[in-house]
């Protein structure tokens, strides 16, 4: 009888083990185990066309650009960094122009942010090669308590927007060439700069982005005519900054070696302490 019980117990154990093995194979594939950044980085071709979610990622607050696309620098939950570039092996994180314009308003360049990224794995063909990319379609930012405090999506980016900000125009200056724009609540330095034969302003946007008083290879700089520069010397002090509303026309400035995008300042309305316009230069 005891032998029968031992055999019965052994059979029972084997059946249980077999059932556990079968159950393990029948369970849905774990997103956490198969859609980690590390695994997809090793085998990006296996995931092409799939929508994946990478949770608890860390993204840099400054966007990169490569091969005509805006890129994110991303750290996985396990600590793997992926640069804001197209990569010959693995993949990079790309964002659309629409999402990039939102991120400029949400993120600060010198900070990093914990987020949940929803991506679609794609290829990005260039003249010389085809890159694998994770096209980011949604970014959910975590707050200090671990809850989602901000969401950036392609759909939200496509919604009608108000007047263009300095940040958005800085990213896409070519889209605004020939247009007259108004940047309100900007801060300008009291000392003029010069570059490539033009007088230039150093300007801080309402959101805190500084643009130097120089011609810039990316984005744009603020240029003023000789006439306006002559007036500003009498209005501003070099060691002070001034809050103002700037009216500009987006143009190009051609030099011997290259073409720069500039915001040609046509009117500066200076705010006083009470918030009213106290001086206008045009």
Nearest to 271 by CA among 166, 183, 170, 163: 183
Domains and CATH numbers, the chain: 31-157 (2.40.50), 166-281 (2.40.50)
CA distances 118 to 93, 115, 121, 151, Å, are 11, 10, 10, 11
Give the pLDDT confidence score for residue 163 in this predicted structure.
75
| Residue labelled with tokens 């090669």 | 129
Contact 245, 183 (CB under 8 A): yes
Phi and psi dihedrals of 213, rounded to 5? -85, 55
How long a stretch of residues is the chain?
282
Determine the Cα angle at 142 with ends 137 and 148, to 5°.
Answer: 75
Contact 95, 162 (CB under 8 A): no
Q: Using 50 as the pLDDT threshold, list the residues of the chain that sit under it.
A: 4-5, 7, 11, 15-34, 157-160
Residue 145's Cβ-side half-sphere holds a number of Cα atoms within 13 Å equal to 3
Of 130, 136, 137, 260, the C-alpha closest to 197 is 260
Q: What whole-number distance in Å separates Cα of residue 164 and Cα of residue 170?
A: 10
Q: Which residue do the tokens 């990478």 mark? A: 54
Dihedral pair phi/psi, residue 174, rounded to 5°: -65, -25
The CA–CA distances, whole Å, from 227 to 198, 230, 260 equal 11, 5, 21
Beta bridge partners of 195: 198
74-75 and 69-72 strand pairing: unpaired
pTM for this predicted structure:
0.56
Backbone angles phi, psi at 98, to 5 degrees: -65, -50
Q: How far apart are CA 11 and CA 6, in angstroms?
A: 9
pLDDT of residue 10: 57
Residue labelled with tokens 């949400």: 106
Cβ atoms within 10 Å, residue 102:
22
The contacts of residue 216 (CB under 8 Å, 6+ apart) are: 260, 261
Where is 194: in which H helix or E strand?
strand 193-195
Task: Write down the pLDDT at residue 37.
Answer: 96
Asked if residue 211 lies in contact with residue 192, where contact means CB atoms within 8 angstroms, the answer is: no
């Amino acid at each position: 009888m005891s032998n029968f019980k031992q055999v019965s117990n052994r059979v029972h154990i084997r059946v249980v083990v077999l059932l556990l093995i079968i159950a393990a194979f029948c369970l849905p594939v774990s997103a956490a185990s198969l859609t980690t950044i590390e695994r997809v980085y090793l085998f990006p071709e296996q995931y092409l066309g799939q929508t994946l979610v990478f949770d608890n990622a860390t993204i840099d607050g400054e966007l990169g650009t490569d091969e005509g696309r805006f890129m994110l620098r991303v750290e996985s939950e396990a600590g793997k960094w992926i640069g804001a570039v197209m990569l010959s092996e693995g993949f990079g994180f790309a964002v659309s122009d629409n999402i990039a314009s939102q991120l400029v308003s949400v993120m600060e360049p010198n900070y990093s942010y914990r987020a949940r990224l929803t991506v679609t794995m794609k290829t990005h063909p260039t003249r010389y090669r085809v890159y694998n990319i994770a096209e980011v379609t949604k970014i959910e930012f975590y707050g200090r308590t671990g809850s989602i405090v901000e969401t950036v999506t392609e759909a939200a980016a496509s919604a009608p927007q108000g007047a263009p900000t300095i940040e958005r125009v800085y990213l896409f200056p070519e889209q605004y060439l020939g247009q007259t724009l108004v940047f309100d609540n900007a801060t300008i330095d009291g000392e003029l700069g010069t570059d490539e034969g033009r007088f230039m302003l150093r300007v801080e946007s309402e959101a805190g982005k500084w643009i130097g008083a120089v011609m810039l290879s990316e984005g744009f700089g603020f240029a003023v005519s000789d006439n306006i520069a002559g007036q500003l010397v009498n209005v501003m002090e070099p060691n002070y900054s001034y809050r103002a509303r700037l009216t500009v026309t987006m143009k190009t400035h051609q030099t011997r070696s290259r073409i720069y995008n500039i915001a040609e300042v046509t009117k500066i309305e200076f705010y006083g302490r009470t918030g009213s316009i106290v001086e206008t230069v045009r």
